[in-house]
Amino acid sequence: MKILYQGFPGAYSHLAAQEVFPEIEVIPCNTFEDCFKLCVENSEYNCIIPVENSIAGRVADTQYLMNKYKLQIFAEHFQLVSHNLIANKNTVLSKIKSVRSHSQAISQCQKIISKYKFSTIIAADTAGSAKYLSENKNVSEAAIASSLAAKIYNLKILKKNIEDETGNVTRFLIMGKKKSQPNYDKKKYITSCIFKVKNKPAALYKCLGGFATNNVNLSKLESFSDKNSFEQYLFICDIYGHIEDPKVQKSLEELGFHTVSLDILGVYEASNFRKIK
């Protein structure tokens, strides 16, 4: 098995991959779509993809790729994101005039940016900012990135945990081709699906009715447009429960009556982070 992630070495996706798979080779890809394509072409590859952040919300484009490639989700992981102000080893904090990073990292570290009156430079990603810094040796510029990025690119950490809010967490999905679902037992599970509602009045209301009548909880329901259309929408849904649970089965059967399409993306054990009772 090999694990693909998007970004440069030292990205938070790289950090998450190492935490989940410490003994497995991890491989960087330029784009999310590259990760999906390689997994479809080679069943030995699996990918770890960020889908939502507790502060910034959903990660753009991942929903479309999940629908396009239909990889099977076989695990989830919640990664704590700790931002660090990092710089070249021959500089000090008083020399820093600007800070470079991904737009979300910049927005999540506004307090320190305002305090030191840094100008900001928006870059493609956090680890790429650290790489750029190490190659250009600019003593007046810093980057916001992970501690792993600082280690990989031989930079020093000027300040740790500079995020404005604690508890900044990103949810990752781990996906691959032709993955088998776990046996139904007493563990806590998530069943994920994508469905398209019929273009009729109260269609979504009818789709969700089965979950209410069968007492099945949803942890996520997210919409996105279908092929640039504003007429019909696709929904990603995370359901608490295993697909072989009779209550979940009945809910999905009723859902199927009111949808144009319904695809099960995966059944997997719920992360302990959720603390499901």
Q: What does the pLDDT look like over 11-50, one tens digit per residue?
A: 999 999 999 999 999 999 999 999 999 999 999 999 999 9
CATH class of 2-80+168-176: alpha beta
pLDDT attached to residue 100: 97
Q: Is the pLDDT of residue 267 over 80?
A: yes
Residue range 132-180, pLDDT digits in tens: 999 998 999 999 999 999 999 999 999 999 999 888 999 999 999 988 8
Q: Check pLDDT > 60 for residue 243.
A: yes
pLDDT, one tens digit per residue, over 51-101 is 999 888 888 889 999 999 999 999 999 999 999 999 999 999 999 999 999
CATH number of 84-159: 3.40.190.10
Class of domain 189-274: alpha beta
Task: Evaluate whether 2-80+168-176 and 189-274 have a shared fold.
Answer: no
Model pTM score: 0.92
Locate the domains of the chain by residue range. 2-80+168-176, 84-159, 189-274
Q: How many angstroms separate the CA atoms of 27 and 5, rounded?
A: 6
Q: Tokens at residue 82, please? A: 């700790």
Distance, in Å, from the CA atom of 173 to the CA atom of 274, rounded to the nearest integer, reads 14
Q: Which residue has the tokens 């995966």?
A: 266
